Each structure stands twice: as structure tokens, then as C-alpha cells.
Structure 1
Amino acid sequence: MRSTRFASRLAPYLNLIRWDRPAGWLLLLWPTLCALWIAADGFPGWHLLIVFTLGTVLMRSAGCCVNDVADRDIDKHVKRTANRPVTSGAVSVKAALLLGAGLALTAFALVLTTNAPTILLSFGALLVAILYPYAKRVFAMPQAVLGVAFSFGIPMAFSAALGGTAWSFSAINAAVPLSAWALLLANLFWVLAYDTEYAMVDRDDDIRLGIKTSALTLGRFDVAAVMGFYAVYLLAWTALGLRFGLGWVFLLGIALAAAQVIWHFGLIRERTREGCFKAFRENHWLGFAVFAGTAVDLALR
């Protein structure tokens, strides 16, 4: 009986952090691990792998808490989100914020086991993560802000693998080459692609509520833009991967990712809610293909 009551009380909090939807944190994890493998020139060691994997899960969960609090008055008017825990009242605003803060502090404790440049970068990552939920009220393309938030693990991975002990911005510059920031920019276009697919699901609700999204900004060019975003991401990531010395296995991973883009075009071309949502949910496989190509290529050197 006690276990049943505990499970029923825990369920809203698990729903709040999207425990049953791992696709969200996988979208953050694969590019971060790609960067970690590239920076370390292969397997980065168990310490960094655990720090970045757990940190990704924790920060994505914390972000869900902040997002749901920020959107609680909007979500109740959208069919897909009306039953989210904060909006429905199953979890209070205070409880959601406390949980988010606890998760973020736990992630920060993991970052503290790395080095000074990575710790400094983590403050920037936290700031962007907090700002994103409010970006849709100001920016016509809030997905670009999400792109920065979801890509910040890339420079942090480089700094963790290559950084020293100095507490300075010059130490960050020394640990994170321009090519790593270029990877962040390239990855931003992947986020623009899949989050525009996500925004296409709620197009009608967002029009009614006056929410700014890339799907609305792009209008009838949304599908073409999504394909363009994918193309920029894959071409830029390919060029940067070759610059880092990756070879044919990496290119095979890129080819598998490109094949998935073609499949996604078939899913979103009619702009149905079901097709667009499926395309968004399956994007983590695209990221996995790129990571697998990168990791195996480096292992075969």
C-alpha cells in the first residue's frame, strides 16, 4: 500500500521531467559525445563520459521544470500540453522550481569534478537554458536560442578534455578551438530543423495564442526551411569532421543521417500533426548515426 501511494505521488514529478521520453535528452547527448570523442581523439575515459551523460540528463530535466513553470498559463490552452503537471496543478510552481534547482545543482556538482574552464562555461550554459522558455515571447525564431542551449555541451566537452586549471577566459580560449565553436553553430541548424518540426505540431494553437515560433515565422516555406537546416547541419558537420581528421566511417554515419532526413521529408511534407511529431521524436536516431560514425572512426585509427 505504501509503495503504491509513493508511486502515485512520484508520478507527477517523473512526468514533469519527461522521464518516459528519453528522446529529449538524447538530442542533447549525441552531439556532446561527438565533441567529447573528437576532443579526446577517441574514448574520453569513464569519468568524463559519466559526467557528461548524467549532466545532460539532469540539465534537460531541470530545463523541463523551468519550461513548464514559464509556460503554465500557455500550456493549459494547448491540447497536447494541457495535462502537464504544473499546468494541471499536480505539481506546484514552488515544487517544480525546487526540483529544477536541485537537478541543476546536482549537474553542477558533476561539473565541479572537471576543470576551471568547464566550470566557467557551465554558467553560460545555465543562463541560456533559463532564458529559452521566455524567448518565444520575444524572438520570431526562439528555436535559435534553444539551438544554443542544446549545443553548449560541445564547447564544454572540449574544455573538459583539453582545458587546464586557470580561472580565466583566456584558458577557455586555449581549451576550446574555433572549430569547436563552429561545431556548436553547425549543431544549432540541426536543432532548428527538429524543433521547427516540433513547432509545426502546435501551429494552430500557437497562432491562436500569439506565440512566436519558427514554424509560424517561416510560414509556407517551413518544410523547405527544415530541409535546408538539415542540409546546412550535415554539410557543416561533414566539413568540420574532415578537418578534425575523421574518415570514411564518419562519412558513412553522415550518409545514414542524410537517409533519415529524406525519410523525415516524407513525414512532414503534408504537415500533419502525427507526421511532424514523429519526425521530431525520431531525430535522436539521426544524432546517433553521426555519433556512431565518429566514435567508430576514431576507434579504428
Structure 2
Amino acid sequence: MAFFALSRVSRRLLKPSVSATQSSFSVFKSQHIYFSKPVTTTHYINPFPKYPSWNYNDEVWSKGTELHQDNFIGLGWNYRLVAGMSYSSSSSAMDGNPKKDDKEKSGVGVKEASWIDLYLPEGARGYAKLARLDKPIGTWLLAWPCMWSIALAADPGSLPSFKMMGLFGCGALLLRGAGCTINDLLDQDIDTKVDRTRLRPIASGLLTPFQGIQFLGLQLLLGLGILLQLNNYSRVLGASSLLLVFSYPLMKRFTFWPQAFLGLTINWGALLGWTAVKGSLEPAVVIPLYLSGVCWTLVYDTIYAHQDKEDDVKVGVKSTALRFGDNTKLWLTGFGTASMGFLALSGLSADLGWQYYASLVAASGQLGWQIGTADLSSGADCSRKFVSNKWFGAIIFSGVVLGRTFQ
């Protein structure tokens, strides 16, 4: 009898407790929810009460869906809402994972809880998302040129300065966050019209523009604290990068080459890292390093821009993805080749050991894999290729360290 009772309880726990369509949303109290397409959702009762429910505030989760009020009622710890899809009692539904082919056909994304939603206080979540703390790839892409330059500036047979790498790592986190804040403030009118960006804190109304400006001031103040710890030459050089940081978000309105301006901005650390260690510039070393970073950025950010090309046409903004069109991979091959050539020239000027050139071979393979296998019609694949550039940066950095240490 006990076994029979336990079996009945288990089945009740796994039984869908809510089935909602366009005309039935009693489970959501008096909240107003509008769907452009019929939606069927399944909510499984959470059998593990120690895991907290996740309440997602004031955001639009998918195209054609508008959410009002503060939260849902009783959403389980592994709950996802996917507009335009139906869940079944299969194992994929239990996991909260719709079938991959269904996602591809519908073209509708899934909004999942990040560590920000799970662990930060509610009042801090909007600011953390504004700084993209849940998406560290931007920080890596900003930090790697700094690390390359610091490692190049090390004395022969020595490791790079850990103090400088720590300072520049913190600076990359702050400056990337500041750049994202500036971008969201200037682009809020555009972000609301693009599927990938319509959930950003300012565009979605989670934060007001004034709150964004206040947060930007705090980030720049903390960044200034780091900059003041460097030598005078580096302070002037670092402060001059702010002109690029503030102007880059506007470039997509005027030119098909905003990715080139991003390259000039995000690779400024290739110049700054060397001067922070040496107190002056060595053009033969750092200029090729800087140009290699610009060409590298044109590769990865053009791939990234292919996610938004249809929305960009509708909104009226420009990108290299639209400029290159069907010839994108040919252009990317040219920029990738130029990037590797500039890296080799920088290594020759710095008299690095053979280990560095071995790393260039490996990095060339990684970059070639990105360009050759990128499915430019798939936003998910473009995003994966974009994120993989953290490994490209790591390969180059390891090569510089080994080439300098065993010089």
C-alpha cells in the first residue's frame, strides 16, 4: 500500500499542472499577457522545494510576446517559456529543452536564468546586465590585446608583470562595461527594434536612461582609479581612447564599417600595455600588434554582425556583414591573413623565439576554422564562432609568453 501511494504521488508531481493557450491564463493572476501566436506551455511542479523559483521581471522573452506585472506564479526552478512552441511529456520537456529542430523552424529564442538572476539582489540585476557581466566574451576580447602587449614588453627570459596583467584585467572589465552602457544609451531606439537586443535593460525599461548615466559615471570613476596607477605617458594614452569609446556606437548610422571602428577601440590596449611597462612606445613592435588586432576584430565582429543583418536592413543601420554580403568569407580570409601577417611582423621586431611562431600556426588554424565553417545564415552558429575567439587570444598570449621566456 505504501508503494502504491508513493507511486500515485510521483505521477501527480510529474503531471502537467498548467496548460495555457491564448485564451486561458488564470494561473498568472491578473497579469496581462499577449501572444501573437497560439502558445502552449507546460509547468511541472517542482519536487525539490529547496531550489528557489525564478521570477523574471519586466522583460519581453520572445518575439510577439509582451509581459506585464512583476512575476509569474510558481514557475519552477528549471522553467522556460518559449513562444510559438508546445511542450510534451517527453524527456526534453522534463529538461525544459524544446527540440532543436523546433527551435530552428520557429526562429524563436529561449530566455534562461543566468547567474545574475539566481544570485544577485533584484536591484542590482539590471546594472549587471547593462555591463554584460553574464557575457564575459567581450571582456576577454578587450583584455587579450593588453595581455599580448604586456607579455611582449617583458624582459627576455622573464614572465610578464602579474601586477600589470591584474590592473589591465580589471580595467578591461570596467571599460567593457562602460562601453556597453554607452552603446545602450545611444542605441536604445534601435535596440527595441532588433530581436537580439530588445531585452537589454534600457531598451526594455528595466533601467531608465538616467540610471544608465549614473552607472556609467561610476564605471568611469573606477576606471580612472586604475589609470592613475600607471605612468604619465600611459595616463594620457589611456584617456585618449575615450574619444573612440564614445564615438563607436554612432558609426553604424553613418558607415558600413563600424566593425573597423570597433577594432580601433577595443584593441587600444595593444598600445597601452607596452607603454605601461616601458614608459614609451616602440612603433616597430606595437603598431603591427595593434593593426593585427584591428584585422582580427573585423573577422569576429563581422561574423557576429550576421546575426542581425535582417533587422539592420529594417532599422536602417549599417555593418560589414551587409557591406560584404555573399563575399563575406573572401573578405574575412583577407583580414585573417593580414592579422596573422602583422602578428608575425610584431614578433620579428620583438625578436621572439620560435615558440611564438608555432603559436601563430595554431592560431591560424583556429581562425581558418572559424571562417571556413561559419554558417552565416545561422545566428546560433555565428554566436558560437564569435565566442570561440577567446581561445584565439589565449593561443597568441601563450606564444608570446613562451617566445619571450625562452628567447
CA RMSD of aligned residues (A): 1.9
Aligned residue among 166, 178, 185 for 1:50: 166
- The verdict on how the C-alpha distance between 1:6 and 1:239 changes in structure 2, with shifts beyond 3 A counting, is closer
Aligned-residue offset at 1:269: 4.6
Could you give the per-residue CA deviations for residues 54-89 of structure 1, whole angstroms, max 9, x where no partner exists?
111110011111111111110111111110101001
- The verdict on how the C-alpha distance between 1:6 and 1:52 changes in structure 2, with shifts beyond 3 A counting, is closer
Alignment map for 1:147-158 (pairs within 5 Å):
147-158=263-274
Aligned length: 290
**Runs of 4+ residues over 6 Å off in structure 1:** none
Alignment map for 1:247-262 (pairs within 5 Å):
247-262=353-368
- TM-score normalised to the size of structure 1? 0.91
Instruction: Give yes or no for contact 1:267–1:278 (8 Å, CA) kept in 2.
Output: no
Aligned amino acid, residue 273 of structure 1? G
Work out whether 1:285 is the aligned partner of 2:399.
no
Where structure 1 has 5 or more consecutive residues not aligned to the other structure, the ranges are 164-173
Work out whether 1:22 is the aligned partner of 2:133.
no
Where structure 2 has 5 or more consecutive residues not aligned to the other structure, the ranges are 1-51, 53-117
Work out whether 1:135 is the aligned partner of 2:251.
yes
Instruction: Give the match's secondary structure for 1:91.
Output: coil
- TM-score normalised to the size of structure 2? 0.68
Alignment map for 1:1-301 (pairs within 5 Å):
7-41=121-155, 42-163=158-279, 174-301=280-407
Instruction: Give yes or no for contact 2:353–2:402 (8 Å, CA) kept in 1.
Output: no
Instruction: Give yes or no for contact 2:141–2:393 (8 Å, CA) kept in 1.
Output: yes
In structure 2, how many angstroms separate the alpha carbons of the residues matched to 1:148 and 1:69? 21
- The verdict on how the C-alpha distance between 1:178 and 1:266 changes in structure 2, with shifts beyond 3 A counting, is closer
Instruction: Give yes or no for contact 1:267–1:276 (8 Å, CA) kept in 2.
Output: no
- The verdict on how the C-alpha distance between 1:269 and 1:35 changes in structure 2, with shifts beyond 3 A counting, is same
Q: Which has more radius of gyration?
A: 2
How many percent identity over aligned positions? Answer: 30
In structure 1, how many angstroms separate the alpha carbons of the residues matched to 2:119 and 2:358? 50
In structure 2, how many angstroms separate the alpha carbons of the residues matched to 1:95 and 1:176? 41
Aligned-residue offset at 1:290: 0.5
Instruction: Give yes or no for contact 2:148–2:400 (8 Å, CA) kept in 1.
Output: yes
- The verdict on how the C-alpha distance between 1:270 and 1:139 changes in structure 2, with shifts beyond 3 A counting, is closer
Aligned amino acid, residue 274 of structure 1? A
Instruction: Give yes or no for contact 2:284–2:349 (8 Å, CA) kept in 1.
Output: no
Aligned-residue offset at 1:147: 0.5
- The verdict on how the C-alpha distance between 1:5 and 1:179 changes in structure 2, with shifts beyond 3 A counting, is closer
Partner of 1:167: none
